[in-house]
Each structure stands twice: as C-alpha cells, then as structure tokens.
C-alpha cells in the first residue's frame, strides 16, 4: 500500500502491549494462588480458574475459600487491629504512602494484569484505573496523617469485611482498603470471582511495603465466600455490587450492629440539551456508555436528547459508533474490549434480544472471533417504561428517548428506582446549575462524564445504595464516636387506676398534615404518674395513620426547596413559643417521668432548637480539590422524608432533637413520640400550630414502638428511618428497610448521645456536582 493510500485510509495499525512481564509474574507464582491471610499466602487448593475473556485462555488457578479460611482471616485482622490503630495516623500514613509508591512503580504490571483478567482496553487500565488507585492511597495517606488533629473524637470501627465487583477490580479495592486502613481499621477483602488477580498482586505489594501481618487479608472465591464474610465477626461490611445482593446483605446484617455501606446498581441518565456542543456531547457519551464495555454502575446508559436536535444527534452518534474499534484489549488502539465472562455476555444478549421496541443500531465494526465480545449498540425510540430503559444491562448498550422541555427532562431522568449518577450537557451554565440539584442522583457531571477522584464523594441514593466513598464523607463510614455505649433498658410506662378521673375528655390526638387527627383504629390508652394518677389519654396510631402521615410529608416537598435562613427563622420561632411555656412543659415532664428533670430538659430542648436554627444556613457543602481544570462541588441536600422513633427517656428533648435536625436540613418528618411519656410530644403540637410550621413538615404519632416500627420501616415513600427507642426494634427496622434500601440510623439497644453534627450528617445527603471550566 502506497503512502498516499495509507493517508487516505488513516487506519490505526495494531499496537499490542507486551504481556510477558505479567504472564511471567503468574508463572513465578506457579499459576496457582492461595489466600493472603496474616501476611502470607496460604497453600493453594482446588478452586476455580481465572480466564482471559478476550480469548478464553486460563491465566491462573485460584482457591475457593472455606469457612475456616474466612475465620482465619477475620481472626488475623482482629488480632492486628489494636496495634494498627495504636500506631497512630502518622504511623499508618507511612505504610499507605509506601503502598502508593509501590503501585506507582509497578503501574504497568498492574495495568496489563488487569486487562488480561478483566478484558478492558489497556488504555483504560493504564491511563484511568491505575493512576486513580495510587491517587487513592496517596490521598488517604494524607488523611491518616491528619486524623489525630482533624478527627479527635472519632476512632476506627475495627475489622471491616469488604466485597468488591469485577468491573474495576483494583480501583474498587483501593476505594475500600485505603480509607479503612487510614482510619485504623483492618480488612478482610473478597475480590470478584472473575477478577481476583490484581488483588493478589496487591497482597504481594503489601508484603513489599512491610505492612504489619493481618492488617490486609484477601480471600478468593464465589458469592458463598462473600456470604461467609457478611456473617462473620466483623464490625463493618462495605459492598459494591448488584442491588439484589445488596438487599440480601442488608437483611443479613439487620440487628447485628455492623456498620454497612452499599454502592449498588444504576441506570444513569445522560441529558443533552439543544444548545449543547453536540460533538463534545457525543465524545462524552462514548466514555459514558462504552467505557469498560458499559460494565460501569454509573454508565450513562439512558440517553435523553432534546427533541429539536435528536435526529441530528443520533446521526452523528451512529457515525461515531461505526468508527469505534473493538478487539484485543491489549491493543492500545482498541476502544472497546471484551465482556468479562460468557455468563455476562449471555445476559446482555438475552436482554437485548427480548426487546421489541424502538430501532436498534449496532456499530459496523469487525467483531473478533472467539472471546466475549459484544458490539456497541444504540436503541432509540424507547418508551420510558421499557424494560431496557428501567433495568441495568451492564453492557455496551445505550437506550435513548427524547424530551421537549427541561422539566420533562428532569421527570424522565428521575423516572427510575436508581439514583447513582447523571450527566448534563448544555452551554447554558444557568440551566446546568438549575437542573443538577433537581436530579435524584448522588453524582452529577456537567459537560463531562465518569470523573472520579479520591477527594470527591461518590455514592448513590434510592436503590443505588447508601454511604459515600471518597473525601471526608468516605472516611466517616470507617469511624465511630469515641463515646462508650451501655445497654439500654426498655422503659415501661407507669400504670394506674382511672377511677376518679377528670370527666372532661383529655385524649391527645395525632398530628398529621398540620392538623390534629383521630387515630384510624379508634384506640387510645391512659398515661399515668408514678403514683398511678391519670394524666390523660393518647391516641394509638396504626399503619394507616403512618400512611396518612407519610402522604402529608410527601405533599410538603416545597419545604425542601426553602432557604436555610427561612428554616432557621421558624426554628427560632418554635424556641420562642416553647420558652413561653417552660414551666408548663417542665411540670408535665416531671409528672410523667417521676423525676425532677423537667426544667433542665426544657432548657436543653430550647438550646437544641437554637443550635439547629444556627446550623440551618451553615451546614454547607464545599468545593473539593480535584486534579482537573474544574471543581467538584459537594453539596448537602435533604434526605427527604425521615421517620423516627423518638427517645423514650427524654420525651421533649428526644422529639426536638430529631425534629430540629430534620427541619434544619429541609426534610419532612414522621415522628413517633416517646412510648412511655408521650404527652410532652402531644403538648408540643400546640407549639407547632402557632409557629408557622407548614403543614406536613412535622407529623407526630403516638403508640407502641414495637407495633409501629415495621410499618414505618417498610414504607417505600420513606427515605430514612431513625430509632432511639428503648424498645428492641433495631433489627426489624433494618430488615424491613430493604424495599427501597432506605438509610437507617438505629441504636441497637444501646444508649447514645449523638452530637448535633451526627444528627445533621444523618439528615443530609451529599451530592457531588462536577463542573469543568475553561475552553
């Protein structure tokens, strides 16, 4: 072929990466691996094979962990944890820094091994995954160095069980291990069955760094091994994977006291407005959906294009798709590599074949024979309810529809049970910053996509899970307050005799939607002093009353859009009106509890209202220092509707704490009053009625905590459940919350006194908005 012919054709020639060093490393290990436990590799046992998905070649034989292996790993981690924590942040920082340096030194070995094992293009492993891995260890080395000064009231959780997926094997490992170690925890990690090799190479790096034995333990195997870790004696479970498995883990850990973070599935919208730079949006879309063959939890798999430019955009997109190169992942000129395993390939093929809607276009590129390859696919004209628009495909398949107005774009984007990420393309900065806060997603990229950094929180809402990885938010998930807890005894109400009661009816009603309401069930019960004198009756709420209260809270969504200043003014007003009735509330509390603490509790309640009023316009987000030309804004948003079982022992303060934090952050709440001492809450209804609190923002129920807890937790229009009750309801709340994977904050039958910052953190959700700038 002549030079002129080559210039006309402009084909990329092959540029294969040399895999000999990675293959030699496997040979040096005997192509057989045991587990990494207590600082050493165990003897290999028969288990399963790791294969190259591009050609089916066996790379290594891995061991299937047994219960004994998991127990040994947890025991080693437990033994090492105390010394590792006592080493101090500065001491731990040295080890994390050493790991970061070693990963950097062996970057090409890690990149090649990752591509061999996972099937992603070498350019992605080399230029994205591995740099982010050592970035996470460098960043968290700094966090460890700062911990003693910046987090003096926090301490490590203990032993963390970590389970990671196959799409970003080493990167997910760094997201989990780096913050855990920085805060003084030890770990037992299970990599995905398909992609364990870079985790084992990382174990070798830990030995080279001189990491103390037992600090990092890695066991390999299938999902049964993950189940063993979940049920083992660990203090936290961190899981990244499917929503289905996340639900099972939530159920399995319910009532155990184990901390839990879940980063689950997604069906992320990619919104293109008519004023967007269409060519740039298309290049971004290539990264959004065909990066890592679409096997990305936050892949922009739902394309929403403004109708006026949709045909032009689709035409350009199809042309760009036809220019994509699919083939050997080790070829540096390849855009799309191999699907991780035949099982996943079959799943993608089956889902696409079952679709009967729209028009499908598959890239006109050569598909290699053998191996697990699937062509980049675009399906346009789908209805919002189509299966492919709602269900996660986890493959290189883009589903598209159109919209006409920004409001419709938001409605379509939020029409999913997931809430992990979203992308907005527009040249109008006002439009971008108007749309981003409206999207129900933990991460929003503006005129960019798939940007990640250790300093920027990443995580989802709804059925995409809860918790954040990265930044200070990620660290908090690996720490706990230093305050010691004690077992919480259930407080029983006083009993008495109704004889001689005041003939005037004194039955306190429920407070729903800004009005006092009779209970649906028509039942009430007496409240008595310690001496048995009757103070009055309270209504007994049931699940229908919960339904009505949640509906009222959902109808008060405008509260979440109010300013912090306005919310502060109303909280101050509540405090003023409560202050005017100090003596009345103090006497009521003394009468109910049989103590002389009423005056002090009212004063604490007033101080609490003033505290949350003060925080209402100060619990700010901030810009994160990320290594791009742009900023990552970590913005605090309301959680939504919060249900809470209030503290029993302090009937007014317990109500005010939960209500104040909820209101300050813009949430609406359904509060179940102290079970033994409910009249302080029902008296407080009159304060609410005279303090300009909008209807539905605060709803108050009274009744049996054990009876109401499962219905409150199971309600799918509830976004979070808190429990400070003395009744043993933590397990049922966590178990019943799996329907929509709502956030939970429970006391596990232990006394605790959370600080205002703990309440504010629980009452807010971090949304990270990435905004690149410049030409």
Tens of pLDDT along 606-632?
A: 999 999 999 999 998 888 888 888 889
pLDDT at 504: 64
Whether 721 and 742 have beta carbons less than 8 Å apart is answered as: yes
Query: Which of these, 46, 189, 192, lies nearest to 117 by C-alpha position?
Result: 192
Please give the pLDDT value at position 460: 95
Q: Which stretch of DSSP H or E encloses residue 606?
A: helix 598-615
Nearest CA to 617 out of 580, 684, 665, 652 is that of 665
Q: Is 773 exposed, middle or buried (0-12, 13-18, 19+ CB in 10 A)?
A: exposed
Taking alpha carbons only, the member of 358, 435, 362, 364 closest to residue 400 is 358
Report the alpha-carbon distance of residue 436 to residue 272 in Å, rounded.
13
Helix (H) or strand (E) holding 708: helix 705-714
The DSSP annotation for 356-416 comes to: -SSEEEE---PPPSSSS----EEEES--TTSHHHHS---SSEEEEEEESSHHHHHHHHT-S
Residues linked to residue 465 through DSSP beta bridges, in sequence order: 263
Does pTM surpass 0.95?
no
End-to-end CA distance of the chain: 39
Residues contacting 472, CB < 8 A, separation 6+: none
Give the length of the chain.
Answer: 775
Q: Which residues in 729-773 belong to E strands, given as ranges?
A: 743-746, 750-751, 764-772
Q: Which residue blocks in 448-558 are alpha helix, DSSP H?
A: 471-476, 543-554
pLDDT value at residue 486 = 86
Residues 655-666: tens digit of each pLDDT: 999 999 999 999
* Percent of residues, the chain, with pLDDT higher than 70: 98
Among 456, 483, 475, CA closest to 89 = 475
Cα(180)–Cα(50) distance, rounded to whole angstroms?
Answer: 28
From the list 738, 772, 748, 745, the residue with the least C-alpha distance to 760 is 745
Looking at residue 751, its pLDDT comes to 86
Q: Give the Cβ contact number of residue 583 at 10 Å.
A: 11
Question: For the segment 35-67, what is each residue's pLDDT rounded down to a tens digit?
Answer: 999 999 999 998 999 999 999 999 999 999 999
**To 10 degrees, the CA torsion angle through 665, 670, 673, 679?**
100
Q: Tell me how far CA of residue 515 lies from CA of 392, 541, 581, 611, in angstroms.
A: 43, 15, 21, 27
- Annotated catalytic residue, options 114, 124, 263, 734: 263
- The pLDDT of residue 398: 97
Helix or strand or coil: residue 76? helix
Residue 534, helix vs strand vs coil = strand
Set 297, 372, 399, 646: catalytic member = 297
Euclidean distance between CA atoms 247 and 745, whole angstroms: 17
Query: Comparing C-alpha atoms, which of 407, 396, 444, 100 is closest to residue 270?
Result: 444
Residues of the chain with pLDDT under 50: none
Instruction: Give the pLDDT of residue 476.
Output: 92
Is residue 675 part of the annotated active site? The answer reads: no
pLDDT at 505 (0 to 100)? 63
DSSP code at position 66:
-
Active site residue 283: no
């Amino acid at each position: 072929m002549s030079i002129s012919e080559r210039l006309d054709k402009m084909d990329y020639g092959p540029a294969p990466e040399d895999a000999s060093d990675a293959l030699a490393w496997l040979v040096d290990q005997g192509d057989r691996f045991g587990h990494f436990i207590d600082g050493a590799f165990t003897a290999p046992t028969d288990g399963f094979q790791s294969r190259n998905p591009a050609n089916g070649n066996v790379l290594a034989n891995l061991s299937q962990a047994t219960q004994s292996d998991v127990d040994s790993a947890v025991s080693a981690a437990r033994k090492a944890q105390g010394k590792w924590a006592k080493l101090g942040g500065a001491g731990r920082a040295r080890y994390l820094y050493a790991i970061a340096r070693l990963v950097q030194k062996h970057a090409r070995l890690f990149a090649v091994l990752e591509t061999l094992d996972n099937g992603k293009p070498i350019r992605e492993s080399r230029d994205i995954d591995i740099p982010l891995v050592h970035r996470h260890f460098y960043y968290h080395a700094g966090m460890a160095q700062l911990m003693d000064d910046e987090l003096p009231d926090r301490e490590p959780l203990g032993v963390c069980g970590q389970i990671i997926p196959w799409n970003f094997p080493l990167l997910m490992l760094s997201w989990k291990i780096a913050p855990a170690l920085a805060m003084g925890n030890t770990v037992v990690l299970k990599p995905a069955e398909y992609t364990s090799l870079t985790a084992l190479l990382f174990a070798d790096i830990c030995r080279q760094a001189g990491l103390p034995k037992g600090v990092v333990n890695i066991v390999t195997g299938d999902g049964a091994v993950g189940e063993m870790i979940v049920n083992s004696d660990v203090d936290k479970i961190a899981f990244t994977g499917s929503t289905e498995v996340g639900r099972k883990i939530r159920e399995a850990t319910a009532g155990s006291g184990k901390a839990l973070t879940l980063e689950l599935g997604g069906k992320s919208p990619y919104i293109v407005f008519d004023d967007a730079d269409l060519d740039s949006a298309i290049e971004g879309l290539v990264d959004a959906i065909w990066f890592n063959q679409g096997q990305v939890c936050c892949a922009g798999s739902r394309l929403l294009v403004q109708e006026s430019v949709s045909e032009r955009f689709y035409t350009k997109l199809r042309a760009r798709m036809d220019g994509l190169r699919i083939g050997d992942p080790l070829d540096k000129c390849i855009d799309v590599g191999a699907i991780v395993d035949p099982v996943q390939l079959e799943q993608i093929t089956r889902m696409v074949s079952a679709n009967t809607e729209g028009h499908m276009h598959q890239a006109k590129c050569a598909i290699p024979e053998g191996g697990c390859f699937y062509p980049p696919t675009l399906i346009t004209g789908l209805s919002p309810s189509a299966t492919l628009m709602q269900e996660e495909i986890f493959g290189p398949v883009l589903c598209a529809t159109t919209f006409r107005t920004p409001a419709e774009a938001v409605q379509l984007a939020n029409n999913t049970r997931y809430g992990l990420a979203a992308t907005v393309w527009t040249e109008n900065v006002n439009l971008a910053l108007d749309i981003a806060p409206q999207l129900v997603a933990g991460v929003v990229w503006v005129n960019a996509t798939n940007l990640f950094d250790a300093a920027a929180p990443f995580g989802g809402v709804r059925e995409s899970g809860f918790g954040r990885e990265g930044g200070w938010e990620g660290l908090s998930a690996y720490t706990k307050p230093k305050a010691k807890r004690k077992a919480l005894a259930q407080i029983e109400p006083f009993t008495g005799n109704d004889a001689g009661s005041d003939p005037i009816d004194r039955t306190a009603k429920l407070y729903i939607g800004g009005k006092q309401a009779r209970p649906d069930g028509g039942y009430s019960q007496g409240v008595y002093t310690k001496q048995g004198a009757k103070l009055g009756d309270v209504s007994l709420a049931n699940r229908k009353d919960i339904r009505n209260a949640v509906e009222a809270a959902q109808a008060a969504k405008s509260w979440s859009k109010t300013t912090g200043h306005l919310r502060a003014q109303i909280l101050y007003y509540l405090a003023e009106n409560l202050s005017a009735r100090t003596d009345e509330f103090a006497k009521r509390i003394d009468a109910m509890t049989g103590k002389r603490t009423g005056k002090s509790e009212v004063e604490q309640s007033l101080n609490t209202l003033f505290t949350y009023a003060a925080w209402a316009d100060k619990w700010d987000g901030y810009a994160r220092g990320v290594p791009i030309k742009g900023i990552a804004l970590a913005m605090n948003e309301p959680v939504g509707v919060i249900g809470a079982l209030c503290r029993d022992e302090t009937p007014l303060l317990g109500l005010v704490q939960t209500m104040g934090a909820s209101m300050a952050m813009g949430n609406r709440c359904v509060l179940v009053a102290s079970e033994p001492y409910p009249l302080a809450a029902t008296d407080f209804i009159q304060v609410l009625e005279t303090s300009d609190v909008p209807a539905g923002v605060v709803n108050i129920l009274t009744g049996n905590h054990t009876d109401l807890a499962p219905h409150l937790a199971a309600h799918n229009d509830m976004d979070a459940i808190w429990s400070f009750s003395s009744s043993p309801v933590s397990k049922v709340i966590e178990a019943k919350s799996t329907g929509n994977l709502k956030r939970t904050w429970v006391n596990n039958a232990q006394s605790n006194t959370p600080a205002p910052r703990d309440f504010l953190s629980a009452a807010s959700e971090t949304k990270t908005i990435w905004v690149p700038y410049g030409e």
